[in-house]
Amino acid sequence: MWKPISSAPFGRELELAVFDEDGEHTLVFPCIKEREGWRNAASRSRVDIHPTHWRDWIPDGIPANSGKFLGDSP
């Protein structure tokens, strides 16, 4: 279940939903919220994004809604 980005915890791998020029979709890599912003959990590089929602990242697998719109997920 998606949760509002305002409740995203620090220091955990999260699946994020973003709204950009292509519309609303989920990122295909986990991100970690830090005080300075968001980082790609694997590469540790900063990610310039403005997510709208989050849910726990499911390790060792493809995110439940990889690349699809939020409205398409349960």
pLDDT tens string 21-58:
888 899 999 999 999 999 999 999 999 999 999 999 99
Read off the pLDDT band of 74 (50, 70, 90): very low
Domain ranges of the chain: 3-72
**Residues 57-71, mean pLDDT to the nearest whole number:** 61
User: For residue 70, what pLDDT band results from cuts at 50, 70 and 90?
Assistant: low
Q: Report the DSSP beta bridge partners of residue 54.
A: 3, 16
Q: pTM of the entire structure?
A: 0.76
DSSP-derived 3-state class of residue 71 = helix
Q: Measure the CA–CA gap between 9 and 67, rounded to whole angstroms.
A: 22
